[in-house]
Amino acid sequence: MSEVQSTFSLKPGDPAPAFVLPDSSGQMHTLDSLRGEKGTLIIFACNHCPYVIHLAKPVGRLADEFAALGIKTAAIMSNDVENYPADHPDKMGPFAAESGWEFPYLYDESQGVAKAWGAACTPDLYLLDAEGGLFYAGQYDSSRPKKEAPVTGEDLRAAVEALLAGGEPPADPFPSSGCNIKWKDGNEPPYFG
């Protein structure tokens, strides 16, 4: 398992690229339909990545906390399912249910949304403000699979607290870390590799 870090192609204040994506049951969602009153958390994720599995249940619990504060969450799966069948949409619903995800888990079959957002790894986290501008892109916390560190969500929590308080985005956030997005052959973005 090699660790990849996000590239942060979106900068604080940049408008998040719009999308229309289905969840695993085929229901369509737009970024606007997912927007929370105070903000929106978008997580690029998948079913098989050890980094996602490590955070999946804590993310489900934290998303519930954030929902009560007016911040909605959604996850997007952009991996090549032909070469990574564990990430197939048929398996996304069960993975989300097992993880306690009460939020939409969307399928980016073309990988165009991941490219537009500059997503590089799973999990890759993007916190948007109420208007849909990027407020924070960075790690959940400093925990990693097989590392003796508690899963606290401290980096993401600090960003949410700053957002809700009307403060500034965290300066120099540590990038998200995880498995690289599994690009379809020939579909790799310029920032990959």
Q: What confidence tens digit (pLDDT) does each residue in 165-190 have?
A: 999 999 889 999 999 999 999 999 88
Residue 193: inside a domain, yes or no?
no
What is the number of H-type helices and E-type strands within the chain? Answer: 5, 10
Percent of the chain whose predicted confidence (pLDDT) is above 90? 85
Q: Is 189 domain-assigned?
A: no
Residue 6, pLDDT > 80, answer no
In the chain, alpha helices (H): 31-34, 50-68, 89-99, 112-117, 154-164
At 2, the pLDDT band (50, 70, 90 cuts) reads low
In a domain, 187, yes or no: no
Categorize the per-residue pLDDT at 149 as very low, low, confident or very high, splitting at 50, 70 and 90.
confident
What residues contact 107, with CB distance under 8 A and at least 6 apart?
A: 21, 22, 23, 24, 76, 77, 89, 92
Please check whether residue 192 lies inside any domain of the structure: no
Rounded Cα distance between 47 and 42, Å, is 16
Biggest alpha carbon distance in the chain? 44
Q: Examine residue 73 and state whether it is found in any structural domain, yes or no.
A: yes
Within a domain: residue 190?
Answer: no
Q: Is residue 57 part of a domain?
A: yes
Any domain includes 63:
yes
3-state secondary structure of 37: coil
d(CA 132, CA 130): 6
127/6 Cα distance (integer angstroms) = 14
Looking at residue 3, what is its pLDDT?
A: 57
* Domain ranges, residue 70: 4-180
Q: Are 160 and 71 in contact (CB under 8 A)?
A: yes
Domain of residue 114, CATH code: 3.40.30.10
Does residue 57 contact residue 99 with C-beta atoms inside 8 Å? yes
- Mean pLDDT over 94-116 rounds to 97
Q: Please give the tally of structural domains in the chain.
A: 1
